[in-house]
């Protein structure tokens, strides 16, 4: 989200109230910003380095009218951020909703990030690093693809997350060996070349793989 009256962006977030659970507050922020519910949300890291706090950050927020002057001293306190990443299929994404401290919100490609406050760029980097590492131990795609998808679409998702090209035949062989895909005996219509097969996830085996993990990675 782009901060109000300031040429810098920040990750959406909020403060944890003393009578609320951390996970519940994270879900509430996600719903407030995106209007989405029942989204996969995973806590991946806490950020509490003393050096992450910029003494000028609170003063700048007051000067630019982002926060009220009465809140400056409160914002100058040390705070710890708990990072979550959410996974959602893009066709379900709605226009993000700004809060009182931001001019507007927007979805931004990870390879084209704007200038971010304090350590928010490193938070994004850590989230991406964690997601790539978890691809070695459990499946991904249920929250990011439509119900029916092709093998090339699944491979494109993995390549986007891993930021590397994968061999088509090896990818197909490995994904089928995991036993989490069901061949629907349907084909993608309206394509100019050979129509690819449509698959869907075997949800029982998919969530079992999330729980028990894979024996081999990428």
pTM over 0.95: no
The pLDDT confidence band at residue 134, using thresholds 50, 70 and 90, is confident
Torsion angles phi and psi, residue 152, rounded to 5: -60, -35
CATH of domain 135-212: 1.10.10.10
Torsion angles phi and psi, residue 62, rounded to 5: -70, -45
Residue 120, SS3?
helix
**pLDDT at res. 189:** 79
CB contact burial 107-126 (16+ within 10 A = b; e otherwise): eeeeeeeeebbbbbeebbeb
Residue 143, SS3?
coil
Q: If you average pLDDT over residues 42-67, what whole number do you get?
A: 86
Average pLDDT along the chain = 88
Write the pLDDT tens digit of every residue in 87-109: 888 777 777 888 888 888 888 88
Write the pLDDT tens digit of every residue in 168-212: 999 999 999 999 999 999 988 776 667 899 999 999 999 898 888
What are the residue boundaries of the structural domains of the chain, listed by start? 2-120, 135-212
**pLDDT at res. 66:** 81
Q: If you average pLDDT over residues 151-165, what whole number do you get?
A: 92
Burial class (CB in 10 A: 0-12, 13-18, 19+), 214: middle
**CATH architecture, domain defined by 2-120:** Alpha-Beta Complex (3.90)
Cβ partners under 8 Å of residue 38, min gap 6 = none
Q: Is the Cβ–Cβ distance between 105 and 1 less than 8 Å?
A: yes
Long-range CB pairs of 116-120, under 8 A, 24+ apart, other chains included: 116/8, 116/9, 116/10, 116/11, 117/3, 117/8, 117/9, 117/10, 117/54, 117/57, 118/52, 118/53, 118/54, 118/57, 119/47, 119/49, 119/52, 120/9, 120/10, 120/11
């Amino acid at each position: 989200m782009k901060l109000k009256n300031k040429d810098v962006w920040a990750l959406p977030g909020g403060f944890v109230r003393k009578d609320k659970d951390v996970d519940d507050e994270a879900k509430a922020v996600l719903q407030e910003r995106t209007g989405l519910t029942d989204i996969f949300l995973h806590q991946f890291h806490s950020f509490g380095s003393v050096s992450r706090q910029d003494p000028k950050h609170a003063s700048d927020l007051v000067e630019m009218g982002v926060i009220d002057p009465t809140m400056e001293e409160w914002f100058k306190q040390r705070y710890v951020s708990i990072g979550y990443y959410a996974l959602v299929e893009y066709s379900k994404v709605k226009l993000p909703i700004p809060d009182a401290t931001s001019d507007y919100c927007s979805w931004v490609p990870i390879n084209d990030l704007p200038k971010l406050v304090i350590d928010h760029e490193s938070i994004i980097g850590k989230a991406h690093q964690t997601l790539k590492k978890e691809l070695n131990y459990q499946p991904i795609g249920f929250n990011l693809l439509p119900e029916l998808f092709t093998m090339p679409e699944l491979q494109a998702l993995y390549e986007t997350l891993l930021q590397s090209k994968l061999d088509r035949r090896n990818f197909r062989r490995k994904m089928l060996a995991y036993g989490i895909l069901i061949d629907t005996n349907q084909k993608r219509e309206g394509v100019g070349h050979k129509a690819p097969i449509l698959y869907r996830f075997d949800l029982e085996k998919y969530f079992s793989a999330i729980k028990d993990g894979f024996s081999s990675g990428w």
